[in-house]
Chains A and B, each alone.
Chain A
Amino acid sequence: NAGVTQTPKFQVLKTGQSMTLQCAQDMNHEYMSWYRQDPGMGLRLIHYSVGAGITDQGEVPNGYNVSRSTTEDFPLRLLSAAPSQTSVYFCASSRAGGSSNQPQHFGDGTRLSIL
């Protein structure tokens, strides 16, 4: 079971560069989301999606774009990287439905440094 797969695991960028963080899940989950984890700030929601073609902003969306063209993939795009975006990025997925017993599954993270 692959679960939630994030690529790359590590990346170093220069200020102003753009890049896409990839996230794929093979569990046919409807819900997918992106978080960033910073020391002293915990995990904060960047963007989320409740299904293909539907995305919405989380707590800290500025500087990031997302799209959801398929159920499996939810890429996160940094348009013009800034040092403040140095962080660890986690992708998560879960099933939808009326039951509240659906846990979130997380990828292993992408460690991003912006110089």
Chain B
Amino acid sequence: KQEVTQIPAALSVPEGENLVLNCSFTDSAIYNLQWFRQDPGKGLTSLLLIQSSQREQTSGRLNASLDKSSGRSTLYIAASQPGDSATYLCAVRAGNTGKLIFGQGTTLQVKP
């Protein structure tokens, strides 16, 4: 059974820091991996999607990497800003069915 873990559960950093959020999964046979952002009381916004054949994806200050062999993905946020404060969720798609398995998220606070 696929399990997804995110560490740490919460993170507080001063503005301007570069930071890394971690996601690990137990079964390397994934279809893709997606990082989401969730603001309090809101829905999920897709940030980056990495296909199983890819090693990384970039969007602006965000960079996500994928190492299937070790069952790990990282989300790198450069030059963090208070507006980056949110919960970040990673989810793996185990097959071509649309089913996602989520980690429990990392809640990020960026202090001015």
A111 to B32, CA, bound (A): 29
Q: Which of A13-21, A35-43, A60-68, A78-86 contacts B (4 or more CB under 8 A)?
A: A35-43
Q: Are B43's CB and A94's CB within 8 A?
A: no
Q: Which of B34, B42, B52, B104 contacts A41 (CB 8 A)?
A: B104
A94–B103 CB distance below 8 A: no
Q: Are A103 and B34 in touch, CB under 8 angstroms?
A: yes
Give 1 or 0 for each of B94-109: 1 = CB within 8 Å of chain A CB.
0011111111110000
A114 within 8 A of B: no
Instruction: Decide if B96 touches A40 in the complex (CB within 8 Å).
Output: no
Residues of B within 8 A of A41 (CB): 104
Residues 29-72 of chain B, each 1 if its beta carbon lies under 8 Å from chain A, else 0: 00110101000001111100101110000000000000000000
Chain A residues, CB < 8 A from B91 = 43, 104
Q: Which residue of B lies closest to A39 (CB)?
A: B104
- Interface of chain A residues 7 through 51 with chain B (CB within 8 A): 30-33, 35, 40-45, 48, 50
Determine the interface band of chain B, counting residues with CB < 8 A from chain A: 20 to 34
- A107 surroundings in chain B (CB, below 8 A): 43
**In the complex the two chains form, is A104's CB within 8 Å of B104's CB?**
no
Question: A-B contact count, CB below 8 Å?
Answer: 71
Whether B102 contacts A42 by the Cβ 8 Å rule is yes
Q: Which of B34, B42, B43, B51 has the most CB of A within 10 A?
A: B43
Q: Please pick, from A31, A45, A90, A100, the residue contacting B53 in the complex, using a CB distance under 8 A.
A: A100
Q: Which of B31, B100, B102 has its CB near the most chain A CB atoms (within 10 A)?
A: B100
Pick the residue among A32, A45, A98 that contacts B100 (CB under 8 A). A45
| Bound complex: CA A34 to CA B44 (Å) | 13
B contact residues around A104 at 8 Å (CB): 34, 46, 91, 93, 98, 100
Chain B residues packing against A (C-beta within 8 Å): 31-32, 34, 36, 42-46, 49, 51-53, 89, 91, 93, 96-105
Q: List 14 A-B pairs, Cβ < 8 Å.
A: A30-B98, A31-B97, A33-B99, A40-B104, A42-B103, A43-B89, A45-B99, A92-B98, A96-B98, A97-B96, A100-B96, A101-B51, A103-B49, A106-B46
